[in-house]
A = this chain, B = another copy of it.
Amino acid sequence: MDQYRSLKDHVYDHIAQAIDSGRLSGGDKLSEQQICEVLNVSRTPVREALIQLASDGYLENLPRKGFHVKAMNEESAREIVEIIGPLDGRAALLACPRMNEDDRAQLQFLHESMQLAIAKGMLKKYDDLQHEFHDCYVQRCGNEKLIGYVRQLNRYFMKREYAHVDHDKQITLLQQANDEHAEIVRLFLAGDATGLQRYVRDVHWSIDNAPFLVW
């Protein structure tokens, strides 16, 4: 019944979306005043939103120098890859016994859609589908905190650049990734929760062999 959303929350959503959509990119400085003018609010809710965004990993706050969009670099990419495997694997383990028939059908559909996207060379489309694929089981893991962690870590993969990488090489990598998705689907259908956890954690998100990490 309480549909109330504060101005702070509106500002938060506005900035978060601007970052997720790529309209703001790493290193960009956020002008408090400019946000005030665009959204027609005072600095108080704007600053409160910025502080929360910084705490949530969207921004970094240099004292007396303002807020900047957190930049993706070699190191933070490594940190994320080192963490996401265990978490995504655990999410799969927990989700496995909680999936219903529709969920499994959705997984299969997304896998085949990704195959189609690869065949057509639609890289961006593939990425979107991949996120849906992972979200599909993460959302079913029954652990809100885990969902939040995985979501936060995955944000970084939504802003990948393709331009500087050879197209054919990309296709090969995506095909390999989608072959792994096939195995993940198989394990979900078989209901093999522990095998699933191990595969997602140690193979799909392998630290050593991380085809996803092409920046």
**A85: chain B residues within 8 A (beta carbon):** 90
**A89: chain B residues within 8 A (beta carbon):** 86
Interface size on A, residues (CB 8 A): 32
A4-35 residues at the B interface, CB under 8 angstroms:
4-6, 8
**A149: chain B residues within 8 A (beta carbon):** 83, 149
Closest CB in chain B relative to A156 CB, distance in Å: 11
Q: Which residue of B has the minimal Cβ distance to A88? A: B86
Which of B5, B52, B83 makes the CB contact (< 8 A) with A146?
B83
**A55: chain B residues within 8 A (beta carbon):** 51-52, 55-56
**A181: chain B residues within 8 A (beta carbon):** none
Closest CB in chain B relative to A65 CB, distance in Å: 10
Alpha-carbon distance A182/B76, docked complex (angstroms)? 33
Is A47 at the interface (CB under 8 A from chain B)?
Answer: yes
> Given A86-B89, A90-B82, A143-B82, A63–B201 Cβ distance below 8 Å?
no
What residues make up the interface of A, taking CB atoms closer than 8 Å to B? 2, 4-6, 8, 44, 47-48, 51-52, 55-56, 63-64, 76, 78-80, 82-83, 85-87, 89-90, 94, 143-146, 149, 201
Can you list 14 residue pairs at the A/B interface with Cβ under 8 Å? A4-B63, A4-B64, A48-B48, A51-B55, A52-B52, A52-B55, A55-B56, A79-B145, A82-B90, A83-B90, A83-B143, A83-B145, A83-B149, A86-B90
5 new A-B contacts, CB < 8 A, other than A51-B52, A82-B94, A85-B90, are A55-B55, A79-B144, A82-B143, A83-B149, A86-B86
